[in-house]
Structure 1
Amino acid sequence: MTDTPEKIDYSSTLYLPQTDFPMRAGLPQKEPETVARWQKMDLYKKLRASAAGREKFVLHDGPPYANGNIHIGHALNKILKDVINRSFQMRGYDANYVPGWDCHGLPIEWKIEEKYREKGKNKDEVPVNEFRQECRDFAAGWIKVQTEEFKRLGIEGDFENPYTTMNFHAEARIAGELMKIAKSGQLYRGSKPIMWSVVERTALAEAEVEYADVESDMIWVKFPVKEGPDSLAGTFVVIWTTTPWTIPGNRAIAYSSRYAYGLYEVATAENDFGPQPGEKLIFAKRLADESAAKAKLTFNFLRDVEADELAAITCAHPLHGLGGGYDFKVPLLDGDHVTDDAGTGFVHTAPGHGREDFDAWMDSARALEARGISSAIPFTVDDAGYFTSDAPGFGPDAEGGAGRVIDDKGKKGDANERVIKALIARHALFARGRLKHSYPHSWRSKKPVIFRNTPQWFVYMDKDFGDGTTLRSRSLSAIDDTRFVPAAGQNRLRAMIEARPDWVLSRQRAWGVPIAIFADENGEILVDDAVNARILEAFEKEGADAWFAEGAKERFLGSDHDHARWQQVMDILDVWFDSGSTHTFTLEDRPDLKWPADVYLEGSDQHRGWFHSSLLESCATRGRAPYDAVVTHGFTMDEKGEKMSKSKGNVVAPQDVMKDAGADILRLWVMTTDYWEDQRLGKTIIQTNIDAYRKLRNTIRWMLGTLAHDKGEEIAYADMPELEKLMLHRLAELDKLVREGYDAFDFKKIARALIDFSNVELSAFYFDVRKDALYCDAPSSLRRRSALAVIRKLFDCLVLWLAPMLPFTTEEAWLSRKPDAVSVHLEQFPEIPAEWKNDALEVKWEKIRTVRTVVTGALEIERREKRIGSSLEAAPTVYITDPALMAALEGEDFAEICITSAITVVAGEGPADAFRLPEVAGVAVEPRLAEGRKCARSWRITTDVGSDPDYPDVSARDAAALREIGFRAAA
């Protein structure tokens, strides 16, 4: 009986991947350890030291509000900023990131007031600076919380020295900016209708308002004609409004000379309180029938009413005599804002309750005074939403007390119904109904606002600075000089600046930077450099609290001014002025930054917020924008595209994603989404990113394992096989794409390209092809040594390019490969030699890979039918009719490329039953089994297995490799 030789274990002779870099990432556990390591080593300081002397790149941080945990919008915003900063830092810039916080304003003030109410305390009984200190402490507490949450996201920046709007120096600079505007003559006290929050008891800016659908009362009201053409005596002009409570403030009616008007007589009526047969009324002709239907009337058309007839009319107020008031004339004014698409063609004009009404009234003020009509604007509603004595019959002297528009909880008051009842009693109501429409609400309280005429401090938009420019013209010019990403942001901001009214700065609250000026009863502002210097010096040392301290007026005015004449303005500044001034005390005042910023990046809502206020403030004081580029991102919706809300239960919290999957997963989602538009996020999308991350991580892991056998040998480019040169060519192409993508803030393009490169070109092609050579070739093999040199470069490029996007994973991979390194984030993007670019090589290999797809398709069928187990069992014949494809394969080891043990390439059509792909013409594959024996080491089936007597169970190639490494089987 012959002894059967023992099977030899060749595994120790193979250069199989070896790495401690785990397949399972464990990001939720590892990432906090990495954050702690970065803090311990003070990575931020090392980044600054490494970048000393480089050109500065500055992304100025739009300040989040310091009043709660971060949400997914914060995470999206900060990750985008971090990727931008890291990408520029790793491309030769000093990209210093200084985070900031917005600390003043109503939301924090509310929180402190809520705490007072719970304790039964009255805010007004607490010294103002004691209250302000509580607001300051509240903001400081949340800054600490948000700082740790941002760090957990992998955000790197100067968190030890951030900027805050409540910092004493910041408060001094904000006040100083206002003083500059006042000195230039652009600040004034005016009385205009502004959006007013009854709930919050303060004026609101456009940026503090959002729109929501409401259902409102709508009424048609008859104004009796008292003066005008004799033929119109005894007629009525009919207006339409969705704010009945503004009728006491009516002072005029607007019409448009562009439209046709007519006189109508009521023929029949089916209503209880409206017009009766025989009454004559004037309407825009286009809207007459629709109006009649609302009042359940039929009309007879009598004649056209010309524009000059309308201009000659004055009406009586429909509430004439109520409470002893409304005995003034109501003129008709020609107005460009009048439309004929709804209503009656006549616009009820209450200059104290609407911007267009105000403008139309003021434009006519001189002409009205000449006609003996007072142009004074009444204050019919107070800060609490109650009617005043300027609304006779509804104010404090009315039966039952003053009516109220909106109460302290944002609910509708009784004002509308009281006005409607009074109109019915005077036979002045034409019709009534209900209308669902969009209406402004405070974005903080979510309650409706009102338009209310009240004295406020404004900045002119159209007053000449003395150099032929205005704030509007400067701002529009600055917009033209700014790069917008996406480009549509430019038109959006331009439209807002073109249409915006004067900038209202004053707020009637306690927590903020005061409007630190003195003014007399006529609104004249004291401009005195010495007074201003005393104020700013105090603010620098004590903060803005100095303005509210006892004796502040005397302290700042000194003995040079009449204390009786000059009054201290106690309003505070709109917080958008605070944030709009951040460029001054960060970019200008910090030597590690520069002005203007290279880029501002925020959500698309900031076209009316921070981008807007920063533009206005800087153009008012410096004549240009504080930024060179503006990048905007959309909002994050749930997976169905619906807005996230706690009530719907569809909120995705970044803290939960980091706890379950890791910050790098969240960052990968940000990088792969189209952030310029609204994005979606939910469990399915998170899982998709986990899967993509896992593939990317496994590519990095395989490279690390393979490079465990790398000796660091450099191979001359000219000596490398073509396949290695092809991979270097792809790196050259990707280098251009990556750099251009980071410059364009197009992260999705970069992420998609790198993920596809890793999955398709590396894992599924190059690595697959070269595994045999890498695992089995002899140490001296040029093919193996070249592959190792290229994989070394592939690893460096991929990890460095991905470092801004996936800072935790790339740090782990870099230190696994280079344990003596400090951090991947201190590295620079690799320099790519020009010789790597080889377009001709790519064209050739595209042909080779085209033929390979047909071979792969044929072998897949063989595997599926279980005629082969692996591709190494095959030795197919490939038939090619295309000379260009044949030429591409010439001189190549096509069997290695297709991962088969052998392959035969034949010029010709091939058998009719050969495998073909419809999309690849001229290529057919006839599957065949490989001939020979299976090599015990490489598993290839060849005819030369056993040709070396010292190694009888392996191929000649493997025998040579075994001899070179000194392997001998046990005797």
Structure 2
Amino acid sequence: MSDAPDYRETVFLPKTAFPMKAGLAAKEPAILAKWAADDLYGQLRKTREGRERFILHDGPPYANGDIHMGHAMNKVLKDIIVRSQSLLGKDAPYVPGWDCHGLPIEWKVEEAYRAKKLNKDEVDPVLFRAECRAYAEKWVGVQREQFKRLGVMGDWDDPYLTMKFDAEAAIVGELLKFAESGQLYRGAKPVMWSPVEKTALAEAEVEYEDITSTQIDVAFEIVSTPLADLENSHAVIWTTTPWTIPVNQAIAYGPEVDYSLLHLNRVDQKQGSGWGEVSHVLVATALIDDVCARLGIADHIVVWSGKGTDLAGTVARHPMHKLGGFFAKPRPFLAGDFVTTDTGTGLVHMAPDHGEDDFLLCKANGLDPVFAVADDGKYREDWAWLGGQGSVINPKFNAPDGPICSDLREAGALLAASYDYKHSYPHSWRSKAKVIFRCTPQWFIPMDRPIKDTAIPRCAEEEAILARQSNAATLRETALDAIERTRWVPEKARNRIHAMVDGRPDWVISRQRAWGVPIALYANRKTGEYLRDPAVNARIVEAFKAGGADAWFTADHQALLGPDHAAADYEPQNDILDVWFDSGSTHAFTVEARYGEGVRANLYLEGSDQHRGWFQSSLLESCGTRGRAPYEAVLTHGFALDGQGRKMSKSLGNVVDPLKIINESGADILRLWVASTDYFEDVRIGKEILSGTSDAYRKLRNTFRYLLGALDGFTDAERVPVAEMPELERYVLHLLASLDAELRSATDGFEFNAYARALTDFANNDLSAFFFDIRKDSLYCDAAGSVKRRAYRTVLDTLFHALVRYAAPILCFTAEEVWATRYPDAASIHLQEWPVVDAGWADDAIGAKWDRLRQLRALVTEAVEPLRREKQLGSSLEAEITLALGDAGDRALVASVPFDEICIVSALAVAEAAEGVAVAVTARHKCGRCWRHLPEVTQDGTLCARCDEVVNG
């Protein structure tokens, strides 16, 4: 055994109960419980009362299942922003909300009916709505707990729900504002329709998938034409939707397109085609080769060529004209600017029931829709061709051997048919079934009708906006103006939503469903016009406040109409409002209802898909009723993908479950991942990525653990004024001032990936690898009353108070644990405000000096480390360094500080030579207490002068 004295008890080692092992999955629920018991959210509202307000208005998720990674990413990002604004001292309430109406929930309830072999249409609508309400309530409760487990702080006891009575009343009230100002009309136009769900769909309810379709070329016999050359010929059309041929009413040509009439010398008829008497075909000149290849035309002669304008006045007949009635009517050639020669034949068959261009062109020429396809996608029973058959989205129904192609073949009009055309096609995102364009009577909000009615009450800001705009401004113009006056983060999002609003059609706001807010209007049975009576509308709103939307379906309509109108003269409308109108109205019954008329949200934040969803519906709703956007700024984030950058799906087995991550690693790991990503783009998450996040978390946690241990017993009496501190401490305060400015800038820009990176880099590089490393000797071994040690601990205390606050918005649980470890009886860290950082700490001269010293220190460290790895040195304290510096300024710089202490080596000499580092093993003896190799230590284990004074002094 050695007889050397044991000086361990004389060294001031850090002491803390804060564990390095986080155990977040077990600790976080207890912290949540304490927040709830203390009513932390309520405390925060009282503490911030009267301060500048920051409102992040929550976009409502659907209440229809467990949360997924997209939910988690979205809610965490919102919480980080809200907490950071609160940290800045603002009153930043957060009211979570849910979208409770519409197809997603109704579809789930219908699925339960189908499983029991029950027909939803045979159930009392009020009972069915009650089941939808119960289903939504269940999932609101489930998701609420899951969101809370993420650490999201908000008014969870009073969230907004679109199915609450006051919300339903507000939604119908917003609808009636549009009605009173003349911004509603009922018309028959093609809309996206789901035959499976039997309802119109919004663009935001549609997703596009690649499919294979049947493509067919069909001959329409020309029966009348001003061009003698076209007599006894056939116009050829091409389509990938054979089911629209039974609803054809015309043929469109491009006025500036060149056309040719081909005389067919030889046709190699492909299997399955049926040519009949076709010998001369009219097609676009630019597409002759493509058409000949598809039709098997082996030899032809061009017998006529001309412009599309030459085709005016030409008339064809439908291939099934022998059926009489609708099919016997002439099919006129109509000039269409939309006709191109990109594909097909250059002649487009027109079915006004099933296409926007078709509808507009045919309507302009007196051809109206015929409504041949019913709600379920079948042709109506009385339709002369294929009546009662379908569904039209069934590939077999459209197949080359299906009933449509078979009948066309028999009629001698099917020139080619093949099931090989691959393209993108819209599907319902709920049922995953294909949708169709279908003309049905729907309610619309017009985009291009002048908004002339200014009778709607408006706040002063809205009046100012209207004064700036023309009284005849349209909804589209008003929305585009609002887009330009809104802050978009990132900026490129502005162009995206501008293009979407600029090119969008009228807003279809009606749905043929049961669960939602009804379009509570009365249509005159004779004129079809809807009633615009403010007194009636006020009674409707009051009825909804008392009984919710069900009040409309059980109403005494005469009582609502009042004494001025007879119920017998009006038909109550029973369509349901588009759920996007519901969510687009949330600003009215959440932001304005809670914070005052005319108050706008500071920020909306959702995924990039909401440019065509919530961002846009909210914009249009507010612009139509208030003349401006409901938000000052909009932040868009990307989607969460798997580790390989693929979209998550159960079929691929690559779904990353946020609940599993929380249960295994803790919510703070997930929160740090969110903050660390470039979330303005799509982001990846997987095992390796989360492992890297965990490493970053451990380093941050270790920084806090070191601070807590090093500050054990620290009191205000120990503080040292900044002016009396060593220059190293003042340099670190300079770095802290720079960090503070960087974090404030990142907070203002909602750039928390930059925020998290700056915070972790500061903790790892500036503190752990530099400042802490250098000063640990002073902390452990200097006398408790030494100025250097006291200055170090003073700066550590400043760093603690700053870093725990900086970390709190992201690592909300860990920051609370750190704070409570040091101040067990204090109020929550989340009631604190942004740290006070003295602007005077920023010292560019000190910063430049020590930045260069760190570069020179790095040269020494790089030279020492290989010798440590090779075991030639036990530690850097055993090294003697000769640092060659050719620059006189660098030599003077090194001489101005104790550079051996900064480099943590035994001795360091500077030589005037080209830059380089020589390392030797010191022959000096080691102090038995501080382990430094110093000249005054006469033999290993004895004390250096400093340690002797501390121990024996």
Q: TM-score range by the shorter chain?
A: over 0.9
Name 1:604's counterpart in structure 2: 608
Matched, 1:28 2:30: no
Partner residue, 1:944: 936
**Partner residue in 1 for 2:837:** 832
Structure 1 contact 405–416 (Cα < 8 Å) conserved: no
| Distance 1:563-1:592 versus aligned 2 partners, 3 A rule | closer
Superposed counterparts of 1:376-387, under 5 Å = 376-387=368-379
Q: Which AA in structure 1 matches 2:918? A: E
Structure 2 matches for 1:948-959, cutoff 5 A?
Answer: 953-959=942-948
CA distance in 2, matches of 1:310, 1:952: 108
Of residues 915, 920, 930, the one that matches 1:928 is 920
2:509 to 495, 501, 505: 505
Q: Is the 8 A contact 1:741 1:747 kept in 2?
A: yes
- The answer to whether 1:169 aligns with 2:166 is yes
| Aligned residue in 2 for 1:293 | 293
CA contact (8 A) 1:62 1:100 kept: yes
2:129 aligns to what SS in structure 1?
A: helix
Q: Are 2:277 and 2:412, in contact at CA under 8 Å, matched by a contact in 1?
A: no
The answer to which of 750-759 and 426-435 deviates more is: 426-435
Aligned AA (1:517): L
User: How many matched pairs?
Assistant: 928
User: Hey, what's the Cα distance between the residues in 1 that align with 2:397 and 2:98?
Assistant: 35
Distance between the aligned counterparts of 2:637 and 2:54, measured in 1?
A: 20
Alpha-carbon shift at residue 793 of structure 1 (Å):
1.2
Structure 1 segment 870-885 matched on structure 2, within 5 A: 870-885=875-890
The alpha-carbon distance between structure 1 residues 493 and 91, as it changes in their structure 2 partners (threshold 3 A), is: same
Range with bigger deviation, 696-705 or 276-285? 276-285
Distance 1:940 1:201 in 2: 83
Query: Any idea what the Cα deviations from partners look like across 1:285-324, whole Å, max 9, x if unmatched?
Result: 1101110110110321223122331122121122212265
Which amino acid in the other structure matches residue 418 of structure 1?
A: P
SS of the residue 1:305 aligns to: strand
Contact 1:855–1:898 (CA under 8 A) maintained in structure 2: yes
List per-residue Cα deviations over 1:878-898 (Å, max 9, x = no partner): 111112211221320001000
Partner of 2:460: none
* Matched-pair contact (CA < 8 Å) for 1:192–1:455: yes
The equivalent of 1:813 in structure 2 is 818
For 1:313, the aligned partner's letter is: T
Q: CA RMSD in A?
A: 1.9
Q: How has the CA–CA distance of structure 1 residues 709 and 880 changed in structure 2, closer, same or farther, with 3 Å as cutoff?
A: farther
Aligned to 1:314: 315
Work out whether residues 192 and 352 of structure 1, in 8 Å CA contact, stay in contact via their aligned partners in 2. yes
Asked if 2 retains the 8 angstrom alpha-carbon contact of 1:380 and 1:389, the reply is no
* Farther off after superposition, 739-748 or 875-884: 875-884
Q: Read off the aligned partner of 1:661 and give its amino acid letter.
A: S
Matches of 1:690 and 1:245, distance apart in 2: 56
CA deviation after TM superposition for structure 1 residue 437, in Å = 0.7
**928-937 or 384-393: which moved more?**
384-393
Alignment match, 2:661? 657
Structure 2 residue corresponding to 1:429, chosen from 414, 418, 421: 414
After superposition, the C-alpha distances for 1:455-485 in whole angstroms (9 at most, x for unaligned) are 1111111101121211111111111111111
Q: Structure 1 residues 933, 412: closer, same or farther in 2, change over 3 A?
A: farther
Query: Which residue of the partner structure matches residue 644 of structure 2?
Result: 640
Matched, 1:133 2:130: yes
CA distance in 1, matches of 2:358, 2:845: 70
**How many Å separate the matches in 1 of 2:733 and 2:936?**
34
- CA offset digits 1:49-86 (Å, max 9, x no partner): 11011011000000011111111110000000000000
Within the candidate set 450, 464, 476, 1:464 is matched to 450
The 5 A counterparts of 1:197-596 are 197-228=194-225, 229-271=227-269, 273-275=273-275, 279-297=279-297, 298-322=299-323, 324-362=325-363, 364-365=364-365, 374-388=366-380, 391-396=383-388, 402-406=389-393, 417-433=402-418, 434-466=420-452, 467-521=471-525, 522-549=527-554, 551-591=555-595, 595-596=599-600
Q: Distance in 2 between matches of 1:660 and 1:198?
A: 44
The sequence identity of aligned pairs, in percent, is 51
Q: Secondary structure at the match of 2:63?
A: coil
Whether contact under 8 Å (1:378, 1:390) holds in the other structure is no
Amino acid at match of 1:289: D
SS in 2 for 1:52: coil
Give yes or no for contact 1:635–1:677 (8 Å, CA) kept in 2.
Answer: yes
Cα deviation code 1:465-515 (max 9, x no counterpart):
121211111111111111111112111111111111111111111110000
Contact residue 217 and residue 435 of structure 1 kept, 8 A: yes
Q: Structure 2 CA distance, aligned partners of 1:308 and 1:138?
A: 59
Q: Distance in 1 between matches of 2:127 and 2:400?
A: 38
- Preserved CA contact (<8 Å) 1:509 1:571: yes
Quote the residue 2:466 is aligned against: none
1:941 counterpart SS class: coil
Q: Distance in 1 between matches of 2:506 and 2:551?
A: 29
Residues 806-856 of structure 1: CA deviation (Å, up to 9, x unaligned): 100011011112223211100111121111111221211122112111211
Q: TM-score of the superposition, structure 1-length normalised? A: 0.93
- Opposite residue 220 of structure 1, the aligned amino acid is D
**Structure 1, unaligned runs of 5 or more:** 366-373, 397-401, 910-921, 965-971
**Equivalent residue of 1:570, what SS?**
coil
Asked if the contact 1:274/1:295 (under 8 Å) is kept, the reply is no
- Maintained 8 Å contact 1:637/1:680: yes
Q: Which moved more, 1:440-449 or 1:305-314?
A: 305-314
Change (3 A) 1:278 1:470: closer
SS at match of 2:635: strand
Counterpart position of 2:16: 19
Q: Once the two structures are superposed, what CA deviation does each residue of 1:100-123 show, in whole Å capped at 9, x if it has no partner?
A: 000011222222223334445443
Cα distance 1:708–1:592, how it changes in 2: closer, same or farther (>3 A)? farther
2:706 matched residue in structure 1 = 702
Return 517-526 or 384-393, whichever deviates more: 384-393
- Does the aligned pair in 1 maintain the 2:479–2:628 contact within 8 Å? yes
Q: Which amino acid aligns with 2:916?
A: A
**How far apart are the structure 2 equivalents of 1:786 and 1:287?**
84
C-alpha distance after superposition, 1:139-192 (max 9, x if no partner) = 111111111111100000000010000010000010011111011111111001
Return the letter of the residue paired with 1:455. Answer: P
Residues 591-619 of structure 1, C-alpha deviation per residue, up to 9 Å, x if partnerless? 38972101100011111110011011111
The aligned counterpart of 1:916 is: none
What is the aligned partner in structure 2 of residue 720 from structure 1?
725
2 CA distance for matches of 1:497 and 1:390? 40
Q: Are the equivalent residues in 1 in contact too, given 2:259–2:284 (CA < 8 A)?
A: yes
What is the alpha-carbon distance in structure 2 between the residues aligned to residue 562 and residue 779 of structure 1? 92
- For residues 884 and 301 of structure 1, the distance between their equivalents in structure 2, rounded to whole angstroms, comes to 88
Q: 1:898 aligns with which of 894, 903, 911?
A: 903
**Which of residues 955, 961, 964 is equivalent to 2:950?**
961
How far has the Cα of 1:389 moved from its partner?
5.4
**Contact 1:520-1:567 at 8 Å conserved across structures:** yes
Letter of the 1:793 counterpart? T
Give the Å deviation of 1:233: 1.1
Seen in structure 2, the aligned counterparts of structure 1 residues 351 and 276 have a Cα distance that, compared at 3 Å, is closer
Check conservation: 1:845, 1:888, Cα contact below 8 A. no
| 1:404–1:415 Cα contact (<8 Å) kept | no
Structure 1 Cα separation of the partners of residues 393 and 230 of structure 2 = 39
Aligned to 2:5: 8
d(CA) in 2 for partners of 1:383, 1:412: 17
Alpha-carbon distance between aligned partners in 2 of 1:213 and 1:541, rounded to the nearest angstrom = 48
AA partner of residue 300 (structure 2): F
Shift of 1:560: 2.2
- What letter corresponds to residue 695 of structure 1 in structure 2? K
Q: What whole-Å deviation, never above 9, does each CA across 1:665-689 have from its counterpart, x for those lacking one? A: 0001101111111111111111111
Give the match's secondary structure for 1:55. coil
Aligned residue identity for 1:234 = N
What is the identity, as a one-letter code, of the residue corresponding to 2:97? G
Q: 2:115, 2:210 → 1: CA distance?
A: 32
Does 2:744 align with 1:744? no
* Contact 2:222 2:316 survives alignment (8 Å): yes
